[in-house]
Structure 1
Amino acid sequence: MFALDPRLEQDTYALGDFPLCRLLLSKDANYPWFILVPRRADISEVFQLDDNEREQLWKETNFLSETLKHCFAADKMNVAALGNVVSQLHMHVIVRRRDDVAWPAPVWGNKPAIEYSSDQLSEVRQRLGAVLGDDFRFVEA
């Protein structure tokens, strides 16, 4: 049974679900920083997904990346599956802009995280709701 890693649960807002992945938003308003987590138990590596799930992960990652690039006027999209601290398979999809607080350096540990206000969080949900389509289901805020 799928359960979100406690660290991911603590550090993110759950936004909703694609067919395979739960979409999370990092609790760092410095950057539009999203995380896709396949809703599968005990998965830490992409190769542990079956062929169809792997294909679906890339479809959702690519769709989200393209959507966010336009929705948040990205100069560059950073996409990575790391997992040295949280082993549960998760894909970071981070909007980078030349005017963000860390450009061009990596986002990890560069600047202190800034919590989203309720208005900012509502705005992110509204922006995404207008473009994510029928395959995405928001979870309750």
Structure 2
Amino acid sequence: MSGVGQSFVLHERLAADTFSLGQSGLCEIRLMNDRNWPWVLLVPRVEGVREIYQLAQDQQRQLLSESSLLGEGLMALFGGDKLNVAALGNMVPQLHLHHIVRFEGDPAWPGPVWGKLPASHYGEPELAEVMSRLAPLLDRLRQL
């Protein structure tokens, strides 16, 4: 896919707040370091892009395919009631799509998760467990 990966640098805040889960055809796949919710980000590896419409049309289609596969997989793995998908970018201008599995009755339900609870960081055993759980889904994403 043209333009992917060339001179791409992950924003420092995303690098600090997430763990790498590898790469798909278009995106860096990142796990938010917050065990309050199953929360994965897709970050297109295209330098200087802030909005989805700035991606080439083939990249937009690829992002939709990756996002749909990720969302469906997260809901199947974690049994959520709702999937929140958002590209806010107010704090981090680099385009990134949040995929957050939500549960009726979770501490932020039905509102957004931002600012409700301080991040509860993964310990090593929890991180290993969630990464193991995500592994088959990540393998499927890497094939797109």
Normalising by structure 2, report the TM-score.
0.90
> Which residue pairs with 2:137 in the alignment?
131
Sequence identity percentage: 46
> Which residue pairs with 1:64 in the alignment?
70
Counterpart pick for 1:46 among 45, 52, 59: 52
> Which residue pairs with 1:5 in the alignment?
11
Q: Aligned partner of 2:72: which letter?
A: E
* CA distance in structure 2 between the partners assigned to 1:126 and 1:37 by the alignment: 21
Secondary structure of residue in 2 paired with 1:127: helix
Quote how far apart the aligned CAs of 1:32 are. Answer: 0.7
Task: Kindly indicate which of the two structures has a greater share of residues assigned to helix.
Answer: 2
> Which residue pairs with 2:100 in the alignment?
94
Q: Aligned partner of 1:84: which letter?
A: N
> Which residue pairs with 1:113 in the alignment?
119
Count residues in correspondence.
137
1:104 is the counterpart of 2:110: yes
Paired residues of 2:34 and 2:122 also in contact (CA < 8 A): yes
Normalising by structure 1, report the TM-score.
0.92
RMSD across aligned C-alpha pairs, in angstroms? 1.3
Unaligned 5+ runs, structure 1:
none
Unaligned 5+ runs, structure 2:
1-6
